[in-house]
Amino acid sequence: MRQLIAGNWKMNGLTESIVEIALMSRTLTTKPAHCDVLICPPATLISHAVQSGAPGVAIGAQDCHPEPSGAFTGDLSAEMLRDCGATAVIVGHSERRQYHGETDALVAAKASAAWRAGLTAIICVGETLLEREAGQAKIICKRQLTGSVPRGATTTNTIIAYEPIWAIGTGKTPTNEEISDMHAHIRICLGSRIRILYGGSVKPSNAREILSLPNVGGALVGGASLNASEFTTIVEFSQPSS
Ligand code: PEP
């Protein structure tokens, strides 16, 4: 299966940032990637990014509400995201779990909403540093997978992102052995070929190694996805199949 390199812009980017997506697309047009490429800008930029037309770069969202519509001020439904051209949505990112108190059950409801709207759900799991140091990382990820991945997950409607919380935005990454070990564990828990992305401080200097590890189906990239040149360098390191 093709790897996926996905960028999560978080709460970064104004209209002028669309140029980065255009630059990514231009690079990928001259040097086609052998992986799928997705950028998840803030919701305010989804329509703009889609309408600007960037061949080779799909556009996704960072969160959705479980309901299709209703009295939920400030929220966006999966149907709305699909309507403005998104093809995928990240759910259960650790920043949502931490700052918005999102539970596994809510994340599962959001993933189901994504499927209902025809979006691919990118479901995030990952342990804290304390949990890793206590030897609980696998138990925590298994529990998150059990609670956050609804029945009916397939290789086309779902992607898992393993993101150790202590590696996000910190410049720290697990060892290759730790990544391989956790991805193998997640593969067993899932019992299917659903793609498993690694996320947490992926950058041009470590992407080649990480993307060549077994069971790594791509990367979810935060900081380094804001810059077209860094992001396309990571894309170049993707492996033809995983
Ligand atoms: C993320 O937020 O999903 C992420 C992986 O961030 P960073 O690459 O900046 O660590």
DSSP secondary structure letter of residue 230: H
Report yes or no on 165 lying in a domain.
Answer: yes
Count the domains in the chain: 1
Average pLDDT of the residues in 175-197: 97
pLDDT of residue 5: 98
Ligand 1 touching residue 201 (CB < 6 A): yes
Average pLDDT of the residues in 211-233: 97
Average pLDDT of the residues in 145-163: 98
CA dihedral 58→61→66→71, nearest 10 degrees, is -120
89: left (phi over 0), alpha (psi -120 to 50) or beta: beta
Is 242's pLDDT higher than 80? no
Ligand 1 touching residue 206 (CB < 6 A): no
- How many A from CA of 42 to the centre of ligand 1? 14
- What's the CA gap between 127 and 110, in Å, rounded? 20
Is 63's pLDDT higher than 80? yes
For the stretch 80-92, pLDDT in tens is 999 999 999 999 9
Report yes or no on 21 lying in a domain.
Answer: yes
Predicted confidence band at 240 (pLDDT cuts at 50, 70, 90)? confident
Average pLDDT of the residues in 149-178: 96
pLDDT of residue 30: 92
Beta strands (DSSP E) in the chain are 4-8, 36-40, 58-61, 88-91, 120-125, 158-162, 195-199, 218-221
Residue 47: domain span: 4-236
For the stretch 4-15, pLDDT in tens is 999 999 999 999
Average pLDDT of the residues in 205-215: 97
> 176-190 vs 204-211: helix axis angle to the nearest 10?
50
Ligand 1 touching residue 8 (CB < 6 A): yes
- Strand 218-221 with 88-91, pairing: unpaired
Report yes or no on 140 lying in a domain.
Answer: yes
Is 220's pLDDT higher than 70? yes
For the stretch 90-123, pLDDT in tens is 999 999 999 999 999 999 999 999 999 999 999 9
Written as one letter, the residue type at 190 is: L
> Average pLDDT, whole number, for the chain?
97
Ligand 1 touching residue 169 (CB < 6 A): yes
pLDDT of residue 32: 87
Mutate to test the pocket of ligand 1, among 4, 8, 166, 233 (most ligand atoms within 8 A of CB): 8
Is 184's pLDDT higher than 70? yes
Report yes or no on 242 lying in a domain.
Answer: no
Ligand 1 touching residue 207 (CB < 6 A): no
Report yes or no on 241 lying in a domain.
Answer: no
Residue 163 annotated in active site: yes
- How many A from CA of 12 to the centre of ligand 1? 12
Please report the atom of ligand 1 found closest to the CA of residue 90. Answer: 3
- How many A from CA of 69 to the centre of ligand 1? 30
> Which CATH number do you get for residue 130?
3.20.20.70
Report yes or no on 224 lying in a domain.
Answer: yes
Report yes or no on 198 lying in a domain.
Answer: yes
Report yes or no on 71 lying in a domain.
Answer: yes
Closest CA to 210 of 170, 237, 171: 237
For the stretch 187-196, pLDDT in tens is 999 999 999 9
On whether the pTM is more than 0.95, the answer is yes
